[in-house]
Each structure stands twice: as C-alpha cells, then as structure tokens.
Amino acid sequence: MEQSNHTIENQIEEAKYQLRVEIAEKCLMEDAPINFIMKICSLTKKEVTVITRSMKRKEYLISKEKRDKKQREMELKKKEQKFKKQDTQTNNFKQIERGHTTYNKEKRQREADIQREIAAENTRLLLQKLKNDEINKQQKIKDKEEAEILREQELKKRIKRIKKESKVSKTSKEITKITKVKKEFLEDENTLSRKQKMIASVGNCYLRGLDIKQAVIFSRASKEDVERIYNSFKNK
C-alpha cells in the first residue's frame, strides 16, 4: 500500500513538473524573460536553459526534416525534368518510369512515417489523460479528507464554546461581588456630600476591580465622571 502511494505521488510530481515545462516552453515561444519564466514555473535557471536547448534541438530537427523533404522533392523534380528532356527512346521512358517508381516509394514511406508519428502522439495523449484522471481522483479524496477534518475542528470549537457558556458559578460570584459593593455604597451615602459620595463610590469601584461599565451602574455617576476619576487614580 505504501509503495502504491509512493508511486502515485511520484506520478503526480512528474505530471506537475511536465506541466511546468510545457508552460515554460510556451513562454519561451513568446520570448518571455528567463526570470519571469523561473518565477511562474518554479524552475531554476539551469532547468530553463535545458528546456531552451531542448526546444532549439526540436526546432532544428523539424527544420532539417523540412529542408530534407524539400531537397528530395527538388531532386525528384529535376530528375523528372531531365528525363523529359532526354530522347524519347524506350530506354529513356524506362528511366523516367523508374524515377517515378522511386518517387512514389519515397512518398509512401513518408506517409507511413507520418502515420506512425500520429499514432505515437495519440498514445501519449491517452496515457496523459489516464494520469490526469488518477491525479483528479486522488485530489478529490484529499479534499474530502480535509473537509472532514474541518468539520471535526468546528465541532470541537462548538463544544468548547458551550462548556464556556455553561460556567454559571463564575457569573454567580460576579453578581455577589457587585451586590457587596452596592451595599457598601449605600452605607456611605449617609455621611458624605453628593460630590463626595460620587467620588467615594467610584473610588470603591476602582478598588474593587470593577470596570467602567459596572462602576457607572453602581456609583450612579456619569460615564465621563467615572472615566475621569479612574484616570486620576491610575496617574497617581
């Protein structure tokens, strides 16, 4: 099983590299800069150089084949013209016939070579399609596994949030703390002036560790007064 997975991974990597090579070849055909090709195709300068040489070699072979084909056709045409200019005797007609036979034989040979090349290309395309189908199949399996992991993570988050929200004891302690502070505020109201009561109330809230919102509720002071008094305590 591990060996099979390793083989598939190698095939995937080979397909990815082949795709990058094909993209690089198209970029080179468009005279794109080497640095640009290295960046978008994730290839080294040496790899781009090898691809460039390979393309030049292919172009040279194709050009050479065209030149050879054209040369052969010109030679055959010259022979035909030569045969036509020669004496109309039987021997000359036979020579012309032999020339035509040779031309037809070479033509049939070239057509057979072309058919073999077409068959080889069709085979390559079929193998590439099978490889791509396998890659797509493995990607779907991977996507399904990743989706399952995300669902499990989301479920864990929901459970954690529910547990956090269910901690009623902490809320109960906070209510007890606020009630105690409020009681102390009410006891101090009988001995202080209005402004003094407000400052004392806010000061008690500060000493009890209440935030500004809680201090506004239990000191009966404005938010601005609470913020001002809290800041004065912090600056001391």
Q: Is residue 203 part of a domain?
A: yes
Please tell me whether residues 153 and 129 are part of one structural domain. yes
% the chain with pLDDT above 90:
11
Q: Does pLDDT of 228 surpass 90?
A: yes
Q: Which two tokens stand for residue 208?
A: 């009890």
Mean pLDDT of 114-139: 72
pLDDT digits (tens, 9 = 90+) for 160-201: 765 566 554 545 555 554 455 455 555 555 555 788 888 889
Please tell me whether residues 135 and 227 are part of one structural domain. no
DSSP string, 31-96: T--HHHHHHHHT--HHHHHHHHHHHHHHHHHHHHHHHHHHHHHHHHHHHHHHHHHS--SHHHHHHH
> Total domain count for the chain?
2
Average pLDDT, whole number, for the chain?
A: 77
Mean pLDDT of 103-125: 78
pTM for the structure as a whole: 0.28
Q: Does pLDDT of 36 surpass 80?
A: yes
Domain of residue 50 covers 2-69+118-163
Please give the residue that has the higher pLDDT: either 131 or 78: 78
Domain boundary among 136, 163, 190: 163
pLDDT digits (tens, 9 = 90+) for 203-222: 899 999 999 999 999 888 99
Please tell me whether residues 128 and 219 are part of one structural domain. no
Torsion of CA 15, 16, 19, 25, to 10 degrees: -120
Please give the residue that has the higher pLDDT: either 168 or 151: 151
Domain boundary among 138, 163, 188: 163
Please tell me whether residues 40 and 149 are part of one structural domain. yes
